[in-house]
Structure 1
């Protein structure tokens, strides 16, 4: 009874939050809590039901195996990123995350066997902090998938394609995927009898020969989009500015109706969260991304979302670390 109630409470908050606004960051947290409570509910029900307990045991074993293999998978992905994308902090994230996980596992296995209470306490504390971060990561990942696969897919007056880095003056594959997705939305709206405009948004970086918006507009014009249907926004340097400046340009044209922003799939939910924070009403749709790029890219998005509330997450990690130390002292 208690487990069922503990599941229904976060599940209710999750569904109410989704109905109010799908772009709320809290929706991901409530989803994670509801899933944890559901697992506890199933575990309680499985104690007297072998048909239910066996799948739960198998799922637990697979989860443990996946956890053990995750650092190796991240390390392998990090090496692929370095080889294909070059050295940068963003490209190193999966490699660094794999090393951190591997180090934490080794330290936990060594620390809990030590007679020193402070060493054992720090090992327990790091385990709790890792569990907290893993909970947030999985919750955001699951909700990002849900958000990206639901919502409106047609009936837009404006299509905003967010910029990404150029290679000189050339549109790379990552950005081309966004533009191609925007093109498909544009043609779908035209076939339905509507006349949407495409806003291409992105300023010029220090290593770029032209603005991202200019290169993106050229890409669209070469593929048959009329010049009158393409609007350039060439001042933005961040996602927040992409959204704000593009919305303002659409408002100047009297297009205050439904707007969709197009970005890569790993970037969808953070873009949605930023639009919610700015009070902008728009849908966000994702474009495909090369498989090897997704882990590092989503880790970057995850870190960016955590940094939106550094005090909250820092305090939570400090309390968990202190809790691990305190449990050891009490024991």
Structure 2
């Protein structure tokens, strides 16, 4: 009977996912629903309901450790990397502790209860953020698979840091993707305005938007097709200040927009366009594999700040559910 219930849950979560992305694909809820379907599927297959929290916690712990080990290099020694290393090791230790202790819970001695309680620490500590990470990754993957609408009124290229005043590979990939999108639209008879967006950092000799414009012109895009945004310092400012430029040109309300960034950045950028009420499709440029883990971790942590109340409410529900489980489901000695 239990596997049948789990399969019904899988189907329900998937139906809700399809309905959600049809109405608005830029919602983290899509990833939550996919995570729910995956969780129900694992229990339907006979796995422990703790497998998914364990996996999520392990992956998140490894991401923190990977980011933290940078501190072994003198140039990267800072408090943030040290905290990441300690937090990652703690998450991995808690997860291992749960895996070791929880199998003893089916027997009915006093030690069983203590072992089960210690094992379930993973639910209150790394389990919840691990599941949230899984839901965010699933949301990002689902959104990345979505095909962008044709005929955007404008294309916004999001900037990233310059290296020694020049466009590095990461940013060049974004600009190459922008150029391709523009040429594809031109081939269809459309002429969208392109907005290279990025301000000047303290260690940069010029605004990113200026360097991005020079790169695009050098790679065959006419200068009249470009409108520089050179004041932004964050992704949100990229979008807001680019919208100001489009409004000044009478483009803001003439159709949807295309936003181009790196693949790891697509999910959060899409959440921001929805939050700012921008009708936009976000597409991703290729990113070197070795850059992805630390970059995605930063995006996940930044995305958490976009929904603080929802995440706090989710954590509260998680704690209450775990407390209920400990009170009524764990055998007492």
TM-score (norm 1): 0.80
Tell me how far 1:181 sits from its aligned partner.
Answer: 0.7
Q: How does 1:162-311 map to 2 (within 5 A)?
A: 162-255=158-251, 256-311=254-309
Give the secondary structure class of the aligned counterpart of 2:228.
strand
Q: How does 1:105-184 map to 2 (within 5 A)?
A: 105-108=95-98, 121=117, 123-152=119-148, 154-184=150-180
**What is the alpha-carbon root mean square deviation over aligned residues?**
3.7
1:242-280 per-position Cα deviation (integer Å, ceiling 9, x unaligned)? 112212322332332231100000110111111011111
Asked if the contact 1:124/1:325 (under 8 Å) is kept, the reply is no
Report the Cα distance in structure 2 between the residues aligned to 1:22 and 1:187, rounded to whole angstroms.
26
Question: Judging changes above 3 Å, is the alpha-carbon distance between structure 1 residues 69 and 280 closer, same or farther for their aligned structure 2 residues?
Answer: closer
Asked if the contact 2:195/2:228 (under 8 Å) is kept, the reply is yes
Give the secondary structure class of the aligned counterpart of 2:135.
helix
1:88-107 per-position Cα deviation (integer Å, ceiling 9, x unaligned)? 67877975664243232355
The residue number in structure 2 matching 1:13 is 16
Gaps (5+ residues) in structure 2? 105-109
* 173-182 vs 251-260, greater mean Cα deviation: 251-260
1:264-314 per-position Cα deviation (integer Å, ceiling 9, x unaligned)? 001101111110111110100001111111111111111112222334433
Tell me how far 1:29 sits from its aligned partner.
Answer: 0.8
1:165-201 per-position Cα deviation (integer Å, ceiling 9, x unaligned)? 1124211111111111101111111222221221011
Question: Judging changes above 3 Å, is the alpha-carbon distance between structure 1 residues 261 and 293 closer, same or farther for their aligned structure 2 residues?
Answer: same
Report the Cα distance in structure 1 between the residues aligned to 2:220 and 2:83, rounded to whole angstroms.
39
The residue number in structure 2 matching 1:32 is 35
Give the secondary structure class of the aligned counterpart of 1:274.
helix
Asked if the contact 2:148/2:282 (under 8 Å) is kept, the reply is no
Tell me how far 1:157 sits from its aligned partner.
Answer: 2.8
Asked if the contact 1:204/1:211 (under 8 Å) is kept, the reply is yes
Report the Cα distance in structure 2 between the residues aligned to 1:81 and 1:155, rounded to whole angstroms.
46
Asked whether 1:103 is paired with 2:93, we answer: yes
* 77-86 vs 153-162, greater mean Cα deviation: 77-86
Tell me how far 1:324 sits from its aligned partner.
Answer: 4.8
Question: Judging changes above 3 Å, is the alpha-carbon distance between structure 1 residues 328 and 15 closer, same or farther for their aligned structure 2 residues?
Answer: closer
Question: Judging changes above 3 Å, is the alpha-carbon distance between structure 1 residues 105 and 30 closer, same or farther for their aligned structure 2 residues?
Answer: closer
Give the secondary structure class of the aligned counterpart of 1:263.
strand
Tell me how far 1:123 sits from its aligned partner.
Answer: 5.0
The residue number in structure 2 matching 1:50 is none
Report the Cα distance in structure 2 between the residues aligned to 1:93 and 1:141, rounded to whole angstroms.
23
